[in-house]
């Protein structure tokens, strides 16, 4: 039971306090978001590599795929929306497995929605139109299919028949052209946070 004295806030690396139940636009710094996303892991933290895959790295991959798929180029705001599409998970520090989501209940989904609403309001974003949502989800699911095979160790057949992802996993890593390294290898949290924050600042500068 939630009472008036129930603590619903968490302290972030900057020292700011984020009220998870009633977030405002001023509860975090960009650096807090980057660190949170870099320390929040996809696939329940399971990985065939020494490190798990962060939501920060996934967000950059989705952005890269959307850029590739848009021949005329994305607007800066569209780029920012792709980069921040999972920002609520970084503030919450939790990326639930898809099989767990149906059991989390309406309260959790409402909490996550309020956090994402606060993110979009802070960064001046609007939600996707129906057509835009289709393109976003395609990139997100292609990234997921590819991560499943190259990071989490699923087979391609399992991606199709167990995970029910209708897109083929990529062989190439869409982040290689920008960052180099070993294809599909998860980055260390410090690296993921630095690269995410740099991209966030770069896009914000275009909007200034």
Structure tokens at 46: 């399971």
CATH of domain 28-207: 1.10.3210.10
Judge contact between 170 and 141, C-beta under 8 A: no
Q: Where are the domains of the chain?
A: 28-207
As a whole number of angstroms, the distance between CA 108 and CA 157 comes to 32
pTM for the complete prediction?
A: 0.95
Kindly provide the residue ranges of all beta strands, DSSP E only, lying in the chain, ordered along the sequence.
9-11, 17-19
pLDDT given for residue 80 in this prediction: 98
pLDDT averaged over consecutive 10-residue blocks of the chain (208 residues)?
70 96 95 98 97 98 96 94 97 91 91 96 96 97 98 97 97 97 98 98 94
Judge contact between 138 and 168, C-beta under 8 A: no
CA distances from 202 to 90, 181, 207 (A): 19, 22, 9
Judge contact between 175 and 61, C-beta under 8 A: yes
């Amino acid at each position: 039971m939630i009472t008036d004295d129930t603590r619903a806030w968490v302290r972030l690396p900057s020292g700011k306090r984020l009220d998870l139940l009633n977030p405002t636009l001023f509860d975090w710094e960009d650096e807090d978001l980057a660190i949170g996303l870099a320390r929040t892991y996809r696939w329940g933290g399971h990985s065939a590599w020494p490190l798990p895959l962060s939501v920060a790295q996934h967000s950059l991959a989705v952005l890269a795929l959307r850029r590739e798929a848009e021949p005329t180029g994305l607007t800066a705001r569209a780029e920012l929306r792709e980069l921040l599409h999972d920002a609520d998970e970084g503030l919450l520090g939790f990326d639930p497995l898809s099989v767990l989501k149906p059991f989390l209940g309406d309260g959790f989904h409402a909490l996550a929605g309020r956090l994402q609403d606060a993110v979009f309001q802070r960064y001046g974003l609007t939600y996707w139109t129906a057509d835009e949502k289709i393109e976003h989800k395609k990139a997100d699911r292609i990234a997921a299919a590819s991560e499943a095979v190259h990071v989490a160790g699923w087979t391609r057949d399992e991606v199709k028949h167990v995970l029910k992802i209708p897109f083929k996993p990529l062989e190439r890593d869409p982040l290689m052209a920008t960052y180099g390294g070993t294809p599909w290898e998860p980055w260390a949290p410090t690296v993921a946070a630095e690269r995410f924050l740099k991209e966030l600042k770069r896009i914000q500068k275009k909007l200034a």
